[in-house]
Structure 1
Amino acid sequence: MPDTLLPLKSANAFKGVTRLTPADGKRPAVARHVALVGTFAPRKCGIATFTTDIFEKLAEFEPGIRVDVYVLNDPAQPANYRDGVKLIDYDDPASYARAAEAINDSGADAVWLQHEYGIYGGDDGILVTDFVDRLAPPLILTPHTVLSDPSDRQAAILRHLVERASRMMVMSRHSRDLLATRYAAPNELIEIVEHGAPDRPFGRQQEFKRRLGIEGRDVLMTFGLLGPGKGVEHVIEALPSIVRRHPSVLYRIVGATHPNLIAQHGEEYREQLKQRVADLDLADHVEWVNRFCETEELLDQLEACDIYITPYPNMQQSTSGTLSYAVALGKAVVSTPYLHASELLEGGVGLLIEPNSSEAIAEAVDGLLDDRDALQTLQENAYAKGRGTIWPCFARAAAKLIDDAAAGPARPVSQVRAPSLDAVLQMSDATGMMQHAVGVVPDRSHGYCQDDNVRALMLMNLASNVSEAERRKWTRIYASFVQDSWNPDAGRFRNFMRFDRTYCEELGSDDSNGRTFWALGQTLEMAAEADMRVWATRWYDETLLHLSELDSPRAMAFLALGAAARLRVEPEHGASRKLLEKVATRLAYLLEVARRPDWVWFEAVLGYDNPRLSQALIESGQLLERAEFTKTGLESLEWIAERQTTASGHFRPIGSESFGHEHQSLPFDQQPLEAQAAIDASLTAWRATGQTVWKKHGRTAWQWFFGANDRGAVLADMATGRCRDGVNPRGVNLNCGAESILAFQLAYHSMLALDLETGDESEGALVGHQQQAGIAFALT
């Protein structure tokens, strides 16, 4: 029986962090694992046939590839699908969400999606867009219709799919060119894989004619779901002329009427054709096979014909599976020049005729039946062409497509040095650290921001691989930026500064102000110079009263982390203790209000830097000796850690596309800030509990920087200290902005502390270190 996808899973007690990649790094016995999405047999449509062919031919010729099938299903029209097929109710958004979650949890290396506007729910099948947004594995897209003149919505849907795709497979050059020019698909991501076809012996017409009881006839054939779009009426109009010259001709029209046409008009179209056959006195020359033929029967029917005719009036048709079959079986083809036929039949493989012309059909058929040598040559040319499209060739190309799309295996990081500070300093000047880069080159047009400069200040308090003179220089530059950004009239720090040192605003966001307060607390706790600790204490005291009223959750968490730093230095600092109690109480309240059975979080949405909320509660509980805060912080951290750990054990940060979506977490774009926050919070949780699971989770997040992620993308470079801006559906964002560089650099120091404090060097996470030496580390 097919599987109906179950409701979304509920929260578990932090099972995810134990699902780690095997230490030996061996790949599983199955070479690849792909989730195949589309319609499927026994549904009677071309895409269902194609999707079924992919499934069956990969099983036959590429058995090392495991294929899970997810079928677009109409509950109102149940079908008897084979065992193991998973059903997606085509018009139910929740069903798509469950399917995406099941795919993500399955450990699939890639998702191969068949796209046609009519098979997905919503206007023009728009529900497919939300579905692909939820998918974590690389997406292979096969668009079966690439329109040259789409509606605005149709164009937007296909562009969205193209933007998410790691690879695209088309079956014609025209579709490839149209994807590139009309839908902005990168050429290097598009593969042409011709429609697969059967491998049968050549020239068995007489044998199969005898089986069908039509021996001695010259057999013409058209196959497919019958409707006005097939152009069959033009062949019928051509028959009187053909029959006069070749009285043995039999035209076989094979296939049921299209279900959509039946639903609207019944068999009206077929009856009109039959009436025309009667009017032309062609009853002895036309045979109707009014049923949907399964593949093997279709092939037998094709083998019995001499000339296969596709008189389609729509010149934009990019794929015809039966045309591919006919060519591979060595049939002489007479066809209108629609896209697929124009490419497949070029070079003497078939005859192209003008559309909507019975005279052209008669002339082509008469010419072939008059010249049997020409007929034989055309059949031989077709058969030779078809050798390149038979199923073993198709399966081999499909396997390569899957392999090219799939993320590479995670690579453990071996003995390496502490990250160089070069990337930080190259992004910095006498004003401060610039916030963005184009590739690896600083982008002056976006100027500076407070957020990055306070992070850079925090890094200078930790960095060990820098001379004291350099540390003093850059510490003062970043501290000066912080100091200058204070707006005493507003009682807030500004955030964004242009390259000409003019501010873009009078006061910055709550979060940037909270993060600045945290940096001041960290500086007064950890700065190497006494003078810098004095400076930070002054500004902490100056801003405490103003900033303590911030009430957005992350801003409050940052305030708590800053106050916690002050209390570790000065345990009796009353104002800091009061602030910490206030914030922790508020965060605990938010969690209770927003909590649901499957949602153990402070808000109905997931944003950025999520583990900071839990980290702030844990640190508050430890310093205030309030066990309930520690317990609540750990519970929420377990929940977010579970949500950010995949079934296969690697780290999957909450994607930035999740922001603003209630009770959802989307996989992209993944940003380094999230990995840093997970590592920092793991260090806090380790200090509170001593549980090794937190070391494991911290290491899982650390390995994300080095390829243990959904795209196998290496983001961080120890030699330069650079870090790419994140992981997107196609791979890595090549830009190296300040936030990403600093997240990586700061994450290193937390990972180092976590390893040193746990004292478990048997796993080889970070070795050969002392806190201030910062020499080298290795990852299992």
Structure 2
Amino acid sequence: MTSFKNTYLKNIALIGNSLPRRCGIATFTTDLQQAISTSPAGVKTAIVAMTDHGHAYDYPASVWLQIPDESLEDYIRAAEALNAGRFDVVCLQHEFGIFGGEAGGHILALLSRLEMPIVTTLHTVLAQPSPAQRRVLAQIVDTSAKVVVMAEKGRALLREVYGIPAEKIEVIPHGIPDIAFCEPDLAKTKLEFEGRSVILTFGLLSPNKGIEVMIDAMPLILKSQPDAVYVVLGATHPNLVRNEGEAYRERLIARALDLGIEKHVVFLDQFVDQATLLDFISMCDVYATPYLNEAQMTSGTLAYSFGLGKAVVSTPYWHARELLADGRGILVPFSDAETIGTEIATLLTDNARRKAMRVRAYASSRSMTWQRTAERYISLFDDAAPRRSRPNAVLSGGNASVHKLPAAPEPELAYLLSMCDDTGLFQHAVHSVPDRSHGYCVDDNARALVLAVTLNSSGEKLLPEPLTTRFASFVQHAWNPDKKHFRNFMSFDRRWLEDKGSEDSHGRTLWALGECARSDANASRRSWAAALFAEALPTVEMFSSPRAWAFTLIGLDGYCAAKGEDLVAKRMRRLLADRLVDILARVETEDWVWFEEGLSYDNARLPQALILTGLASETSAYVVAGMRTLRWLITKQTAPAGHFRPIGTDGFSDIRKPPQEFDQQPLEATATISACLAAWRADQSMEWKNEATAAFAWFLGSNDLALTLVDTDTGSCRDGLHRLRVNENRGGESVVSYLLGLIETRRFARISDQPAKLAPLRALRA
């Protein structure tokens, strides 16, 4: 769970169909209402349900009011009730056909009378609307503060066909249940399809779904996969039943009989609850959506199957084209039984390809879980609500910022203590058990020294003094005076495994020494740190690693604050900052605003180093370069759903390519928080508070998998996010990264809530 707490919104009303009415809009409205009501924001919800003519439903308690779709008077009464109920926002689920009047125009009588903002979700956007449909939709949009579509195609149509301004449109993908990735065998056994290769289509049965095309494809599939079975799960659409009974279903059954495949096509005339539906999706090997035309803006059935990590074969309707792009599924031509049969047969007989497609789909869908969908809707509702009623909104640059820092927990040090012995901090752990086989490294002990100094100088929970001394002792012992270099790796039996470590580990150790020289609570240790820093600094002049330069510059920020008279240090600070600016000028292009040809680890430390150096030396060029690169990096670290997405280790070797999503590491979030804190000191813009919020929230579950990485009771932190799960190991780097990020987040909250003071270079806001 995330720890975001909404402090303004209290009551939200959703207008649309609702379960137990049988339709996709009813399912969506109910799922969205439940996701919002169970979110950490603490928002109360109510559904205003549209009831179709001649029907009555046993609505649950979540349905606060119902409107007979043909009764104009009831729309007006509903508006009066909503106003009297003092709802903060109304969220309309719009689909042509669920409201009364010409082109569903009765809903306008309700919307025009509401006294609160309206956010409208458009489940269909017609490319060729009738005049009446265009008129009704235009009026709905005019009365809405924001409109939501679930695919980029919807955004494009709204702009091109209806002329709606871009700033009024938001794209929020269809929500999905948050279900673990699993193999289909267990569900097959439960549903009595054990030993079969299962192809599934589910949803209300109607002629536009293309079921007959899949039936025609089955003989071809059976040639290479004789055990295959096509399961068609779903009741016939109520409108179809009303007009022709079950004639369409009977025609499909007859078609299977004519082809002699009736034992391989199973019709289940059921409208199932979500738990049963998820069992059916879980058991299928391939999910098929053979819809007959492209004008399908949203498919909940596609979203659910994709979100459970299924191999999907689909015709290229609008939603499928976007969701299944880049190898996340297979697209086949409309009404082409031969091609769909060939592709499904190939998938069923190629386990490796099918598994790879499933993994891609599941990993890509983590930002679509109902929890994440609810977060995005709540943020949108908060944006739409009147700003004059929100005392907690902070104005920055003329725009209201509604992000609020997570309720950062108290720092707990129990796990950090368990990861230390009388030598120092262990590198790795197996789950939460220290792994002695990998020993220690100066990288982690230097980070731990930074943490110790930060804790002991920030008014937070103090680290036991002997432990701070132990980290300092490790750093001292790592110094090799013969090589003028720090060693890095040490075995459990206290043997150094090298004469000198990497350039980056040397720079990182200087960072720790610089912080210690400036801020350690112990005067003697401050003197020790300054002396060792001065001895180790000249080695850096020969380094070629930009990160080593950046770590050293961050250390110099502390050292020069303590030893401002050291001219050698000031010269080195200028030299290293100029090097960073120089390589930026050599590499930067219009769409690649970075120091290197690729992105790798601890990326935000490079902008942070330039910003800190520019502020300390009053050099505007450094600050401007640091702010520009940090803003660009943040765009690369922001997922489409808006949450923080660290640069994944899979892409560290990529040259000028979009970042890979996995594996995601804790130190990236911590580096981003630190860089945002430095940027805030430069211009005090609330954008940096928002970005730091998002980076810290990554630890607490606002991430691609919607899974928390930390145990706030002990202070442990998992080593990162894989494609389908968290890494349950909890090594030294991870726990220190989390605690550093936590302390800086808490510090950020304190200083950014104080009255603004003019930063030295505020005029340089980029």
Give TM-score scaled by structure 1 length.
0.53
Go from structure 1 to structure 2 and tell me whether the alpha carbon gap of 1:29 and 1:548 turns closer, same or farther (over 3 Å shift): farther
Percent of residue pairs identical: 32
Contact 1:59–1:65 (8 Å) recurs in 2: no
Q: How far apart are the structure 1 equivalents of 2:602 and 2:486?
A: 20
Give yes or no for the alignment of 1:644 onto 2:659.
no
Question: Post-superposition shift, 1:549?
Answer: 2.0
Give yes or no for the alignment of 1:323 onto 2:247.
no
TM alignment of 1:280-291, pairs within 5 A: none
Contact 1:523–1:532 (8 Å) recurs in 2: yes
Go from structure 1 to structure 2 and tell me whether the alpha carbon gap of 1:504 and 1:198 turns closer, same or farther (over 3 Å shift): same
1:500 aligned to which of 493, 518, 533: 493
Contact 1:493–1:507 (8 Å) recurs in 2: yes
Once the two structures are superposed, residues 629-672 of structure 1 have per-residue CA deviations (whole angstroms, 9 ceiling, x without a partner) of 11111111111122223344322212222211122212222221
Once the two structures are superposed, residues 747-773 of structure 1 have per-residue CA deviations (whole angstroms, 9 ceiling, x without a partner) of 1222232222223599xxxxxxxxxxx
Go from structure 1 to structure 2 and tell me whether the alpha carbon gap of 1:306 and 1:734 turns closer, same or farther (over 3 Å shift): closer
Once the two structures are superposed, residues 49-83 of structure 1 have per-residue CA deviations (whole angstroms, 9 ceiling, x without a partner) of xxxxxxx985686576799xxxxxxxxxxxxx996
Q: How far apart are the structure 1 equivalents of 2:300 and 2:749?
A: 51
Tell me what 1:310 maps to.
261
Q: How far apart are the structure 1 equivalents of 2:14 and 2:181?
A: 21
Q: How far apart are the structure 1 equivalents of 2:126 and 2:435?
A: 56
1:166 aligned to which of 157, 181, 192: 181
Tell me what 1:740 maps to.
734
What's the secondary structure of 1:754's corresponding residue? helix
Give yes or no for the alignment of 1:463 onto 2:455.
yes
Task: Answer with 399-408 or 684-693: which moved more.
Answer: 399-408
Once the two structures are superposed, residues 700-748 of structure 1 have per-residue CA deviations (whole angstroms, 9 ceiling, x without a partner) of 2122222222222122233312112222222322221111110111112
Tell me what 1:436 maps to.
428
Tell me what 1:729 maps to.
723
Paired residues in the alignment total: 479
TM alignment of 1:203-282, pairs within 5 A: 224-225=216-217
What's the secondary structure of 1:443's corresponding residue? strand
Q: How far apart are the structure 2 equivalents of 1:106 and 1:722?
A: 36
2:173 aligned to which of 108, 122, 128: 108
Once the two structures are superposed, residues 168-195 of structure 1 have per-residue CA deviations (whole angstroms, 9 ceiling, x without a partner) of 6689838999999xxxxxxxxxx99965
1:483 aligned to which of 476, 484, 505: 476
What's the secondary structure of 1:445's corresponding residue? strand
Contact 2:673–2:741 (8 Å) recurs in 1: yes
Give yes or no for the alignment of 1:655 onto 2:648.
yes
Tell me what 1:677 maps to.
671
Q: How far apart are the structure 2 equivalents of 1:30 and 1:601?
A: 44
1:625 is matched by which residue type in structure 2? Answer: E
What's the secondary structure of 1:444's corresponding residue? strand
Once the two structures are superposed, residues 136-172 of structure 1 have per-residue CA deviations (whole angstroms, 9 ceiling, x without a partner) of xx8x9xxxxxxxxxxxxxxxxxxxxxxxx83566898
Give yes or no for the alignment of 1:560 onto 2:553.
yes
1:474 aligned to which of 434, 448, 467: 467
Give yes or no for the alignment of 1:604 onto 2:567.
no
Q: How far apart are the structure 1 equivalents of 2:181 and 2:570?
A: 51
Question: Post-superposition shift, 1:615?
Answer: 0.6
Q: How far apart are the structure 2 equivalents of 1:666 and 1:606?
A: 10
Tell me what 2:417 maps to.
425
Task: Answer with 711-720 or 575-584: which moved more.
Answer: 711-720
Contact 1:525–1:565 (8 Å) recurs in 2: yes
Go from structure 1 to structure 2 and tell me whether the alpha carbon gap of 1:534 and 1:700 turns closer, same or farther (over 3 Å shift): same
Once the two structures are superposed, residues 664-712 of structure 1 have per-residue CA deviations (whole angstroms, 9 ceiling, x without a partner) of 2122222211111111111111111121221222122122222222222
Once the two structures are superposed, residues 119-144 of structure 1 have per-residue CA deviations (whole angstroms, 9 ceiling, x without a partner) of xxxxxxxxxxxxxxxxxxx8x9xxxx
Go from structure 1 to structure 2 and tell me whether the alpha carbon gap of 1:573 and 1:178 turns closer, same or farther (over 3 Å shift): farther
Go from structure 1 to structure 2 and tell me whether the alpha carbon gap of 1:65 and 1:514 turns closer, same or farther (over 3 Å shift): same
Give yes or no for the alignment of 1:687 onto 2:681.
yes
Q: How far apart are the structure 1 equivalents of 2:586 and 2:191?
A: 52
Contact 1:670–1:728 (8 Å) recurs in 2: yes
Q: How far apart are the structure 2 equivalents of 1:27 and 1:398?
A: 32
Indicate the RMSD between aligned Cα atoms, in angstroms. 4.8
Q: How far apart are the structure 2 equivalents of 1:647 and 1:394?
A: 22
Give TM-score scaled by structure 2 length.
0.54
Contact 1:707–1:714 (8 Å) recurs in 2: yes
TM alignment of 1:357-396, pairs within 5 A: none
Go from structure 1 to structure 2 and tell me whether the alpha carbon gap of 1:168 and 1:419 turns closer, same or farther (over 3 Å shift): same
2:557 is matched by which residue type in structure 1? Answer: A
Contact 1:564–1:576 (8 Å) recurs in 2: no
Q: How far apart are the structure 1 equivalents of 2:730 and 2:542?
A: 34
Q: How far apart are the structure 2 equivalents of 1:557 and 1:749?
A: 21
What's the secondary structure of 2:427's corresponding residue? coil
Tell me what 2:371 maps to.
408
Contact 1:169–1:192 (8 Å) recurs in 2: no
Give yes or no for the alignment of 1:514 onto 2:490.
no
Q: How far apart are the structure 2 equivalents of 1:467 and 1:696?
A: 25
Go from structure 1 to structure 2 and tell me whether the alpha carbon gap of 1:747 and 1:473 turns closer, same or farther (over 3 Å shift): same
Q: How far apart are the structure 1 equivalents of 2:8 and 2:173?
A: 20
Tell me what 1:364 maps to.
none
Contact 1:446–1:498 (8 Å) recurs in 2: yes
Go from structure 1 to structure 2 and tell me whether the alpha carbon gap of 1:719 and 1:473 turns closer, same or farther (over 3 Å shift): same
Q: How far apart are the structure 2 equivalents of 1:393 and 1:519?
A: 52
1:547 aligned to which of 515, 519, 540: 540
Q: How far apart are the structure 2 equivalents of 1:728 and 1:109?
A: 23
1:717 aligned to which of 711, 714, 721: 711
Question: Post-superposition shift, 1:557?
Answer: 0.2
Go from structure 1 to structure 2 and tell me whether the alpha carbon gap of 1:539 and 1:230 turns closer, same or farther (over 3 Å shift): closer
1:578 is matched by which residue type in structure 2? Answer: R
TM alignment of 1:127-142, pairs within 5 A: none
Go from structure 1 to structure 2 and tell me whether the alpha carbon gap of 1:456 and 1:616 turns closer, same or farther (over 3 Å shift): same
Tell me what 1:535 maps to.
528
1:758 aligned to which of 752, 756, 764: 752
Go from structure 1 to structure 2 and tell me whether the alpha carbon gap of 1:192 and 1:440 turns closer, same or farther (over 3 Å shift): farther
Once the two structures are superposed, residues 501-555 of structure 1 have per-residue CA deviations (whole angstroms, 9 ceiling, x without a partner) of 1122222111111100111111100110111011101111111112332221111
Tell me what 1:635 maps to.
628
Q: Could you say which structure has the larger radius of gyration? A: 1
Question: Post-superposition shift, 1:487?
Answer: 2.1
Contact 2:408–2:742 (8 Å) recurs in 1: no
1:588 aligned to which of 581, 585, 590: 581
Structure 2 segments unaligned to the other structure (5+ residues): 17-21, 33-92, 94-124, 128-148, 154-169, 207-213, 227-245, 271-279, 285-298, 310-364, 376-403, 757-766
Q: How far apart are the structure 2 equivalents of 1:479 and 1:726?
A: 27
Contact 1:170–1:194 (8 Å) recurs in 2: no
Contact 1:170–1:192 (8 Å) recurs in 2: no
What's the secondary structure of 1:309's corresponding residue? coil
What's the secondary structure of 2:437's corresponding residue? helix
What's the secondary structure of 1:596's corresponding residue? coil
What's the secondary structure of 1:451's corresponding residue? helix
What's the secondary structure of 1:735's corresponding residue? coil
Q: How far apart are the structure 1 equivalents of 2:755 and 2:715?
A: 24
Once the two structures are superposed, residues 239-276 of structure 1 have per-residue CA deviations (whole angstroms, 9 ceiling, x without a partner) of xxxxxxxxxxxxxxxxxxxxxxxxxxxxxxxxxxxxxx
Contact 1:107–1:647 (8 Å) recurs in 2: no
Q: How far apart are the structure 1 equivalents of 2:254 and 2:26?
A: 23
